[in-house]
Amino acid sequence: MLCGTMIRGAVLLAWVLCVGAAPQDLMDVCMDGKHQKVEPGKEDALHGQCTPWKDKSCCTANTSQEAHNDQSYLYNFNWDHCGIMAPACKTHFIQDTCFYECSPNLGPWIQKVDSSWRKERILDVPLCREDCDGWYNDCKLEYTCMENWHKGWNWTSGTNQCPNGTKCRRVFEVFPSAADFCEKIWSNSYKYSDERRGSGRCMQLWFNATNGNPNVAVAKHYAGIPSSARNPRIGLLLLAPLSLAPLSLAWAV
């Protein structure tokens, strides 16, 4: 009887470790993109708007510098494709670039992708309503000729230009709402969230690093890691040797 109990406990222990490993694998990871590092680490020299990620970053100092430059070597993207973009609007796109390149908290939303310039992307990251609304409000009077900025451009000059047959229109004419703007502009990389900043249920592009990174708790929530538990597997591990009954499918529910 004792031997059987120990065997069942060992099997349960192995099962718990296997099941519990997946959520942790979604934490502190870097996307397999074009410029991200293999794994996050400290970067004391991050530049400008990218500095909130300096304690644990997926981007290098050089990448953070280029994130602030027009038509940088990162993607040769021209923000001014329909005239000069206002600084108030451009600062949001710079912050978006820093978030995309530097954040180690995007694991729950990383998806494999068959692309010539990256192997992974983010999909439906829940963006706090204040961040999306602020971005849209500061950019809605700017001009663009494209609804999806990921594809469809004329790249013959080496940088993105409006394709033939398109015309420059106000952003609010192309995107009638903040949700429409944030979700469509980067191929559904973001999902407009009704949750507010600090709720622990939506990601912030902007945060004050002196108070910590609020996106860590959000990533834990969507990865299924209880925020109140130091190690959610400990309880089950302690109970494993006490299980006298045969394992059943009920454990897997």
How does pLDDT run across 117-160, given as a tens digit for each residue?
Answer: 788 999 999 999 999 999 999 999 999 999 999 999 999 999 99
**Can you give the pTM of this predicted structure?**
0.79
If phi over 0 gives left and psi between -120 and 50 gives alpha, with beta otherwise, what is residue 152? left
Mean pLDDT, rounded, for 85-96: 97
> Which range is most confident: 3-17, 52-66, 215-229?
52-66
pLDDT recorded at residue 25: 85
Could you tell me the pLDDT band of residue 113, with boundaries at 50, 70 and 90? confident
Mean pLDDT, rounded, for 13-31: 65
How does pLDDT run across 55-70, given as a tens digit for each residue?
Answer: 999 999 999 999 998 8
Give buried/exposed letters for 51-73 (b at 16+ CB in 10 A, else e): bbbbbbbbbbeebbbbbbeeeee
* Contact yes or no for 160/81 (Cβ under 8 A): yes
Mean pLDDT, rounded, for 175-203: 97
